Structure 1
Amino acid sequence: MSSVHAAGAVVWRKKGGEFQVLLVRRDSYKDWSFPKGKYKPGEGPRMAAVREVYEETGEHIALQRPLPSIGYTLSSGKKKRVFYWVARPLTQRSRPVAARPEFPTAHPGEITRSRWMNAETALEKLSYKDERSMLKRVLKYWERGELATRAVLLVRHARAQKRSAWNGSEKTRPLTPHGASRARTISSVFSVYGVDRLVSSPWQRCTATIAPYAQASGVSLTCVAALTEHSHAKNPAGVRKTIEAVLTDAGAPTAVSLHRPTLGTVIDVVKKHGGHHVKEKLPDDDPYLKTGEILVVHMKGDHAVDVERFRPVHTEP
């Protein structure tokens, strides 16, 4: 019997100095819960979470740190698992939203209404123990000042033509058709994390990996010569300095497009900013990341509080 997978988010905001979260009411189930729903075909959990929140509440969001998943058995006997993230609201006019497909709204009979609530009210309203426990975890992050995190997405460029099959210079070696297709998939991931800054090696295979997002969102691309393979081979300190600056910048969520030979140096910089929980999740063997794979580092100030590693769902040839 196949399992059912769904995704959702604990969407929070600070209003009038007060912590608030967004809940949805379903009269048909007589419950209050966090917005969530099943994946659509070809959709990964992160885009599913962002889409479901919009469909059920009308709020565009950006994902922040991940939360523990919740599993249970349905009346049909199937196992269901729901993956959650902390998330913050985005405006309709934000650049990450411009890079998303147009989402529908939920069927009127599915969700009765959505409502922002303070923590005390939300704990009283939430119908399920697991979701109340999740909110308590989020409240601990809030109390420790660790809730307003910033995502830094470190991506190995998508698949490029083989060196042996390319007659031009290394800096102009392009993506394969498969790599170009995956770059479009990567664009959707940048959107769900609210990426508003792009950094890349100036070589074509790196810039082409994040170009679809730059074009769709209007976010400008900053090329850094120190991130090329040749520069790294001569002076790894240039890569360390660049990644250090990106991680500790207090600005917008950022994506960086990288070459495989630089990844060991990049991972070493991330390790400096994280505790044991983060370090044990980091790849430690070359090639560190597959082509088109992403390491998301969730930063609070200069401290890495969590990481995610995944290769975006890709259904095109």
Structure 2
Amino acid sequence: MSGSTVRAAGCVLWRRAPDGDGLEICLVHRPRYDDWSHPKGKLKRGETPLEGALREVLEETGHHCAPGAALPTARYAANGRPKEVSYWAAEATGGAFVPNDEVDRLAWLPPDTARTRLSRPGDRVQLDALLEHGPHA
């Protein structure tokens, strides 16, 4: 089974709220699936999970980021195949979102709103871990 596992990686991308009170979480909307999720994607051949996570964040959000703590790995079935997604907390360090075919919208949301907006309940595990332990844990 492990040979057929789809490997992917992503980040729970965050920034300090503009008013200085707390954090905002970045979610992306993918029109192909009509869902809201953390930026993530499949690994390229020879790419480490962290390299893939940082590349996907940049491709999907237009933002560079500084990776922090590893977050729980997500494991679920996608299109009949097992999928494993490695996640990190990552602070946005600059950039600008430009809509594209893969991601047409981006939202910076307070954590509670982000938790509700996530389309896949399983994606809340990583957000909850970031909030429980802090973004630098």
Q: Please, what TM-score do these two structures have when normalized by structure 2?
A: 0.87
Larger radius of gyration: 1
Of 99, 102, 114, which residue of structure 1 is paired with 2:106?
A: 114
- Indicate the residue corresponding to 1:4 in structure 2: 6
- Would you say the 8 A contact 2:62–2:98 is kept in 1? no
Whole-Å separation in 1 of the counterparts to 2:123 and 2:39: 11
Whole-Å separation in 1 of the counterparts to 2:38 and 2:68: 16
- Indicate the residue corresponding to 2:71 in structure 1: 67
Whole-Å separation in 1 of the counterparts to 2:43 and 2:32: 21
- Indicate the residue corresponding to 1:32 in structure 2: 36
Higher relative contact order (CA 8 A, sep 6+): 2
Give the counterpart letter for 1:57 in structure 2. Answer: T
Q: What secondary structure sits across from 1:40 in the alignment?
A: coil
Of 90, 93, 107, which residue of structure 2 is paired with 1:90?
A: 93
Cα distance, 1:120 vs. partner? Answer: 1.7
Q: What secondary structure sits across from 1:91 in the alignment?
A: strand
- Would you say the 8 A contact 2:72–2:125 is kept in 1? no
In percent, how many aligned pairs have the same letter? 39
Structure 1: gaps spanning 5 or more residues: 93-104, 150-304, 306-317
Task: Mark the CA change 1:62 to 1:132 in structure 2 (over 3 Å): closer, same or farther.
Answer: same
Give the counterpart letter for 1:4 in structure 2. Answer: V
Q: Is 2:26 aligned against 1:22?
A: yes
Q: Is 2:12 aligned against 1:13?
A: no
Cα distance, 1:106 vs. partner? Answer: 9.0
Of 81, 84, 87, which residue of structure 2 is paired with 1:81?
A: 84
- Would you say the 8 A contact 2:72–2:129 is kept in 1? no
- Indicate the residue corresponding to 1:133 in structure 2: 125
**Paired positions, count:** 132
- By percentage of residues, which structure has more helix? 1
Cα distance, 1:23 vs. partner? Answer: 0.4
Q: CA RMSD in A?
A: 2.0
Task: Mark the CA change 1:59 to 1:86 in structure 2 (over 3 Å): closer, same or farther.
Answer: same
- Indicate the residue corresponding to 1:309 in structure 2: none
Q: Please, what TM-score do these two structures have when normalized by structure 1?
A: 0.39
- Would you say the 8 A contact 1:55–1:106 is kept in 2? no
1:31-77 deviation per Cα after TM superposition (whole angstroms, max 9, x unaligned): 100000011122111110000000000000111010110011122x2
1:154-177 deviation per Cα after TM superposition (whole angstroms, max 9, x unaligned): xxxxxxxxxxxxxxxxxxxxxxxx
Structure 2: gaps spanning 5 or more residues: none
Whole-Å separation in 1 of the counterparts to 2:60 and 2:70: 20
Task: Mark the CA change 1:135 to 1:45 in structure 2 (over 3 Å): closer, same or farther.
Answer: same
- Indicate the residue corresponding to 1:264 in structure 2: none
